[in-house]
Amino acid sequence: MIEKINSLMAEIAALSASDLKGVEELRIKYLSKKGAIPSLMQDFRNVPAEQKRELGQKLNQLKEAATERINALREELENAPAAGADNIDLMRTPAPMPLGARHPLSLVREEIIGIFSRLGFNIAEGPEIEDDWHVFSSLNFAEDHPARDMQDTFFIQRNPDILLRTHTSSVQSRVMETSRPPIRIICPGRVYRNEAISARAHCFFHQVEALYVDENVSYADLRQTLLYFAREMFGPETKIRLRPSYFPFTEPSAEMDISCNICGGKGCAFCKHTGWVEILGCGMVDPNVLEACGIDSKKYSGFALGMGIERITNLKYRVKDLRMFSENDRRFLNQFQAAH
């Protein structure tokens, strides 16, 4: 037994551990109920009476030494500075950090804004939670116009006068109410419609609206602005075509097609073999709208246009499923230009 005690004593003096888990393992090995020292104490019972005194003392010393050593190791590790703090290599090249990419809708929105700002348009913004007046009534929507229908518009349950805007045309009336011509604004923003979500429709999407009000603004101004926009956006070969249409807030109204930028106008599956794709709605601001916003329609005229950013993005980048824009799938998003 005395040999065992001596060899354990030597072992304990030389104990070391590299972390707290190691210290705990040592405690279990030597001091726990089934550890080396308590088992020696069990054996102590069988020691002949004349040796008990000497061995008992030695055993106690061993236990004390082990407890002290293990506590010291623990304390040392607990108070040690973060591992390796002295060895940090400040000159080491860091691991490469993956850069994100701009969202395709942001890229296209910025591009549209860029084109219109070169023509002197300024950005205007309005709230997404709107009132009936700015989304519908001020824009000449009749009381029973189907666009107000519950199926299209998200109303706030407790107050049907408050709703999520269904188009960015609401920003037109906000700006016209609070400023005087000349007005030249571009309004990007998110809009909401109560649509079932599919590859071709979503309950929210993005639009850009443009409005120009001044003396003598004519349809020719609208047409030239549209041509400039289409060529900047889709290339100098792009042709435009205006088809008569109807919007409550413009008179006359039109929809603009561009020559299909995928087949160059020859006809393909994308343009349904017509050579043309529709990209926006536009028209001359209805005098009723000018008057509703406090602008003298005898003195001033204007044009407006509105387009879906998703639609333009689909044409530029051939995204087939609208849902990809809001799914945050990095495999999709990383295909677009890296962040600067």
Which residues contribute to the site for ligand DAH (CB under 6 A)? 167, 169, 209, 247, 250, 281-283, 304-306
Rounded to a whole number of angstroms, the distance between the first and last alpha carbons of the chain is 75
Q: Distance of alpha carbon 308 from its chain centroid, rounded?
A: 19
When the beta carbons of 138 and 250 are compared against ligand DAH, the nearer one is: 250
CB of 267 to ligand DAH, least distance (A): 26
When the beta carbons of 27 and 311 are compared against ligand DAH, the nearer one is: 311
When the beta carbons of 189 and 306 are compared against ligand DAH, the nearer one is: 306
Q: Distance of alpha carbon 222 from its chain centroid, rounded?
A: 34
CB of 223 to ligand DAH, least distance (A): 13
When the beta carbons of 52 and 243 are compared against ligand DAH, the nearer one is: 243
When the beta carbons of 22 and 248 are compared against ligand DAH, the nearer one is: 248
- The total of other beta-carbon atoms located within 10 Å of residue 109's CB is 19
CB of 180 to ligand DAH, least distance (A): 20
When the beta carbons of 67 and 194 are compared against ligand DAH, the nearer one is: 194
Longest CA pairwise span in the chain (Å): 125
When the beta carbons of 35 and 252 are compared against ligand DAH, the nearer one is: 252
CB of 230 to ligand DAH, least distance (A): 16
Residue 249 burial class via C-beta count within 10 angstroms: exposed 0-12, middle 13-18, buried 19 and up: buried
Q: How far is CA 335 from CA 44, 104, 168, 331, in A?
A: 75, 9, 29, 7
Dihedral sign computed on CA atoms, order 195, 201, 205, 206: negative
When the beta carbons of 277 and 282 are compared against ligand DAH, the nearer one is: 282
CB of 330 to ligand DAH, least distance (A): 31
Q: Which residue is nearest to ligand DAH (CB)?
A: 306
d(CA 213, CA 208) in angstroms, rounded, equals: 17
Q: How many CA atoms lie within 13 A of 275 on its CB side?
A: 7
CB of 201 to ligand DAH, least distance (A): 13
For helices 104-118 and 309-317, angle between their N-to-C axes, nearest 10 degrees: 110
The runs of H, that is alpha helices, within 149-286 are 169-178, 219-234
d(CA 261, CA 270) in angstroms, rounded, equals: 10
Amino acid sitting at position 267 = G
Query: Shortest CA distance to 208 belongs to which of 137, 133, 136, 125?
Result: 125
Asked whether the beta carbons of 38 and 31 are under 8 A apart, the reply is yes
Helix/strand/coil for 1: coil
CB of 264 to ligand DAH, least distance (A): 27
CB of 152 to ligand DAH, least distance (A): 10
